[in-house]
C-alpha cells in the first residue's frame, strides 16, 4: 500500500473492527486490512496485505507465502495464497516483468507492498549496472605505488588491503567489508587516493569527492579517521611522494555528512533535492557503516548518483541490519561473494595491538558456541538473573564512571578555548559504555541510564547542581536532527563547566565537530569541539546506557553488553551480540545468563526479501 493512503487507512480503522485480528498486528497492520476491504479486496487479500505490512514492520521487504506467526503456524493457507493471484489489488509477476501499479505485488513465493518491490528491483538493477560498467583502469596501481601508499610497508597481513586498492580502479561499485580493527578506514584512504589518481588520468582534473554515513556520528568518525591517516601518510618515516599530494588534498577537503544531508533531504516534506533528475555533483562517493542503510535510502542514493560516479560501500556485513526495511549490506555482500568479479574485498586480519578480543568477536560472528566458551575467558561475565543483581552492576558501573569524570576534573571550570581540557572531558564518552539489547523495561537502556544518572547525582561534588536537569558530566544523545545547529540523531555530547570570565561559570554541552561542516571551518577550529547552551539542544536523552543499535558506528575502550534474562526475547540474535561486543577496543563485559547468551549465538537474524538473488540474476528481475 502506498504511503499516500496511510491516513485514509487509519480512517477506515476507526470505523470498524477487524474480525479475528492476530495479536501480533499493529494498528497500522489493521488499518491496511481495512483499506484493502474498502477498496474491493476480499478477506484473504486483506489478511495477506496486513501480514505484509507486519513483515515490513519487522524489517522484511517481503512476506514469504510460507511465513509463520510467533506460534509457528502459517499465516496464509494454500487457498488464501492461490486467491492472491486473482485479486484486483495484486499484481502477479514473473522474473523480468514490470508489475502493474497495484498496491500489492506477488513475485514468486513472496508478497510485497508495491513500494518495497519497486525499491528492491531498482536497487538490484542499479547495482548490476554499476558492476557491468567496470573497465580496465587508465592509470593502474603498480607495486611501487602500493608501497608508497602504505608508507613503504609490504606485510603479508596487508595483502587484502592492497588488493582492495588495486581492484577499486576502473569500477563504478566497490564494496569493502570487515570487522573492527581490520583496517577498513586505512584501506579506504588508499583506495580514494588511487581513485583520485585514476579520475585525474581520465578527466584531467581532481574529483569531487563526498563521504557520508547513515548517522552524523559515523560520518564524523570516518572524516576524522581519514584526516589522521592522511597525517601519517604525509609525516611518516617514509612520507608519501609529492605526486600524491594533490590527491591527498582532494580527500582532506571532502565534506562529511549524513546520507540524508548528502542527498538534500526535504525532511517531513518528503524526497531529496538530488535525485535521478538532479544528480548529485560528485565523482566519488564513500558511504561508511553501510550496514545501517535501509532499502529505501540505498534506492535514493543510487538514483541520485551519476552513471559515471564511483560508489564505495564500507561496513561490517555481520553487524545488525538497519532499523528500516531490508538488510542491504548483508545482501550485497552475499550476492558479490556468490559472483566474484573483484568488486568485493573482505578484510579479516585484526591490526589492533590488543587482539585478546578477536577470538571472542570471531566466535560470535560465526555463531560458534564452543569457540565462544573457549574465548570468553578474555572477557568478564556477570550473571544478571534479576533486577536486584542488575542494580548492583549498575551501581558499580556508575562508580567507575564517577572516577573517570573525577579524573578529568569535570566539576572544575575550563576556558572555552582550552581545547585540550575540553577534549579530555569529551573523551570520557569513549572510555566506557553500557550497551543494552532492549530499549524499554527494567533491562532496557532507558531505565539503566536513569539508574546510572541517579547514582551519579549522589556524588557530593555535584551537590551545587542538585535538582537541576543539567550538571557537569551529564552525557546526552541527540534524538532528532537539527540542521540549523548541525546536530543529528545519534550525536553524543557531555555537559561541562565553562569559565565565561564573568565569575560565574556556565554549563555548556560539548560535541564533536559537525560532520557536515565545511573543510574551512574544520581547519580553523583546531580540535573542532563545539560548545552549545543546553537550552538550545534539539530533543535528547541520557546516554549513560545505549541500545546496541544506537552504538553502531562507535567504539569504546570498555564495553558492557546487557542481555535480558528471558531466552525467548526476539532481540536475542547473533548480529546483536556481535555488534555490541565488537564495539569494545580493549575490555568487554557480558552481563547475561549463559542460556541467554547461547540463544543469541545460535539465532541468526534473517530478513525476508530477494535482493541478493536479484543482484546476482543474469537478467533483470
85: its cell numbers: 493471484
List residues bridging with 435 in a β-sheet: 546, 561
Looking only at the bridges linking them, the beta strands covering 414-415 and 492-499 are parallel
Q: Residue length, the chain?
A: 621
Say whether 135 sits in a helix, a strand or coil. Answer: coil
Q: How far is CA 12 from the centre of its chain?
A: 36
542: its cell numbers: 541520557
Residue 185 counted as an annotated binding residue: yes
Listed residue (168, 217, 176, 227) closest to 194, CA to CA: 168
Beta carbons of 291 and 321 less than 8 angstroms apart = yes
Angle between helices 574-581 and 594-602 (to 10 degrees): 110
518: its cell numbers: 565545511
Distance CA 297, CA 272 (A): 10
User: What is the DSSP secondary-structure string of 513-562?
Assistant: PPTTS-HHHHHTSTT--EEE-GGG--SEEE-SEEEHHHHTT--EEEEEEE
Say whether 124 sits in a helix, a strand or coil. Answer: helix
601: its cell numbers: 549465538
Residue 57 counted as an annotated binding residue: no
Distance CA 560, CA 563 (A): 10
Residue 241 counted as an annotated binding residue: no
Residue 621 counted as an annotated binding residue: no
Note the helical H segments in 16-174.
27-38, 43-57, 78-84, 114-132, 143-149, 159-168
Distance CA 213, CA 222 (A): 8
Residue 270 counted as an annotated binding residue: no
400: its cell numbers: 567507575
In 186-294, DSSP assigns E strands to 209-213, 256-258, 284-287
Residue 183 counted as an annotated binding residue: yes
Beta carbons of 79 and 62 less than 8 angstroms apart = no
Distance CA 507, CA 471 (A): 7
Listed residue (556, 367, 542) closest to 450, CA to CA: 542
Full 3-state SS string of 307-351: CCCEEEEEECCCCCCCCCCCCHHHHHHHHHHHCCCCCEEEECCCC
Beta carbons of 143 and 311 less than 8 angstroms apart = no
Distance CA 498, CA 501 (A): 9
Which residues contribute to the annotated binding site? 178-185
Which residues contribute to the annotated binding site for ATP? 178-185
Amino acid at each position: 500500500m502506498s504511503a499516500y493512503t496511510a491516513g485514509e487507512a487509519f480512517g477506515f480503522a476507526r470505523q470498524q473492527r477487524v474480525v479475528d485480528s492476530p495479536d501480533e498486528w499493529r494498528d497500522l497492520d489493521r488499518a491496511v486490512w481495512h483499506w484493502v476491504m474498502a477498496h474491493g479486496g476480499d478477506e484473504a487479500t486483506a489478511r495477506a496485505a496486513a501480514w505484509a505490512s507486519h513483515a515490513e514492520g519487522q524489517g522484511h521487504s517481503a512476506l514469504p507465502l510460507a511465513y509463520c506467526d510467533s506460534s509457528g503456524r502459517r499465516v496464509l493457507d494454500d487457498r488464501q495464497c492461490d486467491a492472491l493471484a486473482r485479486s484486483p489489488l495484486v499484481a502477479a509477476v514473473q522474473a523480468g516483468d514490470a508489475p502493474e501499479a497495484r498496491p500489492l505485488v506477488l513475485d514468486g513465493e513472496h508478497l510485497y507492498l508495491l513500494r518495497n518491490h519497486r525499491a528492491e528491483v531498482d536497487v538490484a538493477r542499479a547495482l548490476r549496472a554499476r558492476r557491468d560498467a567496470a573497465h580496465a583502469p587508465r592509470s593502474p596501481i603498480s607495486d611501487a605505488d602500493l608501497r608508497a601508499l602504505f608508507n613503504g610497508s609490504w606485510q603479508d597481513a596487508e595483502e587484502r588491503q592492497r588488493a582492495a586498492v588495486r581492484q577499486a580502479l576502473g569500477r563504478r561499485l566497490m564494496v569493502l567489508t570487515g570487522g573492527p580493527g581490520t583496517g577498513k578506514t586505512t584501506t579506504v584512504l588508499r583506495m580514494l587516493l588511487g581513485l583520485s589518481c585514476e579520475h585525474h588520468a581520465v578527466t584531467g582534473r581532481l574529483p569531487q569527492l563526498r563521504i557520508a554515513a547513515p548517522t552524523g556520528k559515523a560520518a564524523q568518525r570516518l572524516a576524522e579517521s581519514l584526516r589522521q591517516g592522511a597525517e601519517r601518510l604525509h609525516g611518516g618515516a617514509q612520507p608519501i611522494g609529492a605526486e600524491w599530494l594533490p590527491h591527498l588534498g582532494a580527500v582532506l577537503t571532502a565534506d562529511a555528512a549524513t546520507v540524508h544531508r548528502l542527498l538534500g533531504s526535504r525532511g517531513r516534506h518528503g524526497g531529496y533535492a538530488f535525485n535521478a533528475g538532479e544528480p548529485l555533483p560528485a565523482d566519488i562517493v564513500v558511504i561508511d557503516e553501510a550496514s545501517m542503510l535501509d532499502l529505501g535510502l540505498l534506492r535514493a542514493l543510487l538514483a541520485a548518483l551519476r552513471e559515471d560516479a564511483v560508489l564505495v560501500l564500507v561496513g561490517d556485513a555481520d553487524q545488525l541490519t538497519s532499523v528500516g526495511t531490508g538488510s542491504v549490506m548483508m545482501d550485497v555482500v552475499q550476492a558479490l561473494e556468490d559472483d566474484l568479479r573483484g568488486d568485493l574485498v573482505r578484510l579479516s586480519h585484526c591490526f589492533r595491538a590488543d587482539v585478546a578480543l578477536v577470538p571472542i568477536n570471531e566466535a560470535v560472528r560465526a555463531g560458534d558456541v564452543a569457540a565462544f566458551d573457549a574465548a570468553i575467558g578474555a572477557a568478564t561475565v556477570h550473571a544478571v538473573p534479576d533486577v536486584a543483581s542488575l542494580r548492583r552492576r549498575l551501581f558499580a558501573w556508575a562508580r567507575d564512571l564517577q572516577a573517570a569524570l573525577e579524573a578529568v576534573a569535570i566539576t572544575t571550570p575550563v576556558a572555552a578555548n582550552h581545547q585540550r581540557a575540553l577534549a579530555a572531558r569529551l573523551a570520557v564518552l569513549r572510555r566506557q559504555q553500557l550497551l543494552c539489547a532492549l530499549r524499554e523495561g527494567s533491562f532496557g537502556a532507558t531505565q539503566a541510564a536513569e539508574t546510572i544518572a541517579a547514582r551519579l547525582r549522589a556524588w557530593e561534588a555535584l551537590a551545587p547542581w542538585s535538582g537541576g536537569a543539567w550538571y557537569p558530566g551529564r552525557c546526552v544523545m541527540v534524538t532528532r536532527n537539527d540542521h540549523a545547529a548541525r546536530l543529528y540523531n545519534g550525536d553524543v555530547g557531555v555537559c561541562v563547566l565553562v569559565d565565561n570570565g564573568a565569575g560565574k561559570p556556565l554549563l555548556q554541552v560539548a560535541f564533536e565537530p559537525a560532520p557536515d561542516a565545511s573543510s574551512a571551518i574544520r581547519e580553523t577550529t583546531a580540535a573542532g569541539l563545539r560548545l552549545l547552551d543546553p537550552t538550545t539542544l534539539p530533543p535528547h536523552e541520557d546516554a549513560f546506557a545505549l541500545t546496541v543499535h544506537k552504538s553502531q558506528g562507535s567504539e569504546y575502550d570498555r564495553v558492557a553488553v546487557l542481555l535480558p534474562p528471558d531466552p525467548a526475547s526476539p532481540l536475542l540474535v547473533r548480529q546483536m551480540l556481535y555488534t555490541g561486543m565488537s564495539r569494545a577496543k580493549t575490555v568487554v563485559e557480558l552481563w547475561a545468563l549463559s542460556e541467554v547468551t547461547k540463544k543469541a549465538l545460535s539465532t541468526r537474524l534473517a530478513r525476508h526479501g530477494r535482493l541478493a538473488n536479484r543482484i546476482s540474476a543474469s537478467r533483470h528481475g
